[in-house]
Amino acid sequence: MTARLFRLTELHQRLDERLRYEMRRLTPDQFRLMELKRRKLRVKDLLARAARRPMRFNQLSRG
């Protein structure tokens, strides 16, 4: 896994945790929920794009 994929995966997990926390609140902020969902979807798209990108030779040689 590349460093970029790792960072995006961590960010996606943190956004998911914040989203679940906000949804558990007694009165969730609908604007915050919308913003978190939008950001999480953006990171998911970036993850999918990064995963499809072929590895460069120098990435392969580093292991």
Q: Which residue has the tokens 């990064």?
A: 50
Percent of the chain with pLDDT over 90: 71
Contact 28, 22 (CB under 8 A): yes
- The pLDDT assigned to 56 comes to 62
Residue type, 54: P
36-50, pLDDT tens digit by residue? 999 999 999 999 998
Q: pLDDT under 70 in the chain at which residues?
A: 55-63
pTM of the model: 0.79
pLDDT of the residue at 2: 86
Q: Torsion over CA of 36, 34, 32 and 40, rounded to 10 degrees?
A: 0
Six token digits for residue 59:
């990435």
Question: What does the pLDDT read at residue 20?
Answer: 98
Determine the angle formed by the axes of helices 30-52 and 3-24, rounding to 10 degrees. Answer: 160
